[in-house]
Amino acid sequence: MVLVGLGALPFVVWRFGTRNIWPDVSVAAYLLTAFLFLTLLNGYPGLRSRWYWKLVSIMVIVHLVVLSMFVLGAFTIVSKGIKPPTAIFFGLVIVILAVESWVALRLVRMFLERAPAQSTNNSAF
């Protein structure tokens, strides 16, 4: 968690140097991606799980849709010339982060229940 916070530091510095929405959108995209990665890494069952990579591909698509919505929202904000309060913006980011992580964990649980049991026969090695 400390490394995730340190990774956001350049965006915070950028935020103090400018008055537009892009540093906020960039740090939001970074935090969403970092926490999704950590969520999927936490549920990682091992190298031989094909079902897990199906789950990861689904979550990457969902994640790209979420990030696309943020970018489209940022373009809209820039074109209108308004800037939402930072607290409201990051409140929305926290809600989306919680929902995306919840969906990822539910999908891991669903795929884990449907996955065939791994054989313990290691005779191929």
Q: Does the predicted model carry a pTM greater than 0.75?
A: no
- pLDDT digits 0-9 by tens, 78-100: 888 877 787 888 888 889 888 88
Find how far residue 7's CA is from the centre of its chain. 14
DSSP 25: H
- pLDDT digits 0-9 by tens, 4-58: 777 877 878 887 888 778 888 888 888 888 888 887 777 677 766 777 778 888 8
The CA distance from 8 to 40, in Å, is 20
DSSP 20: S
- pLDDT given for residue 118 in this prediction: 52
CA atoms within 13 A on the CB side of 45: 19
Q: Dump strand ranges (E) for the chain.
A: none
Long-range contacts made by residues 81-86, C-beta under 8 angstroms, separation at least 24? 83/19, 83/20, 83/21, 84/21, 86/24
Three-state secondary structure call for residue 67: helix
The residue-averaged pLDDT of 110-118 equals: 67
